[in-house]
Amino acid sequence: MKACEKAIESGQTKYVTVSGILPLRKAICKKLKEDNNVDYQPKEIIVSTGAKQALYNALLYVYLTQTLSRTCGVPLELISMSET
């Protein structure tokens, strides 16, 4: 209950970004480095609500990047859907 009260008091009552909150993604990167000796950046980590949501996000990303590339001539290297 204390964590809920703290979140409400600090204004953390809105939906988060599709990729997950940055502090959580940073913590996952740190855990992977310490426990598995692999380096990832937060922009390479996605935290989802489940498998269906993760698959939907991945397929939507592929569809949108291919569509933008084909119809607008935007190079794939310039297309980014991550805020960090």
Band of the pLDDT at 61, cuts 50, 70, 90? confident
Instruction: Tell whether 2 is covered by a domain.
Output: no
Of residues 55 and 74, more confidently modeled: 55
Instruction: Tell whether 1 is covered by a domain.
Output: no
Band of the pLDDT at 81, cuts 50, 70, 90? low
**SS3 call for 49:** coil
Instruction: Tell whether 22 is covered by a domain.
Output: yes
Instruction: Tell whether 13 is covered by a domain.
Output: no
Alpha-carbon distance of 27 to 31, in angstroms, equals: 6
Which residue in 11, 46, 51, 6 sits closest to 29, CA to CA? 46
Which residue is it, tokens 């698959």?
55
Q: Give the chain's domain count.
A: 1
Instruction: Tell whether 6 is covered by a domain.
Output: no
Q: Which two tokens stand for residue 62?
A: 């592929």
Domain of 66 in residue numbering reads as 18-78
pTM: 0.64
Q: What is the pLDDT of residue 27?
A: 97
Instruction: Tell whether 48 is covered by a domain.
Output: yes
Taking only the tens place, the pLDDT of each residue in 5-34 is 998 999 888 888 888 899 999 999 999 999
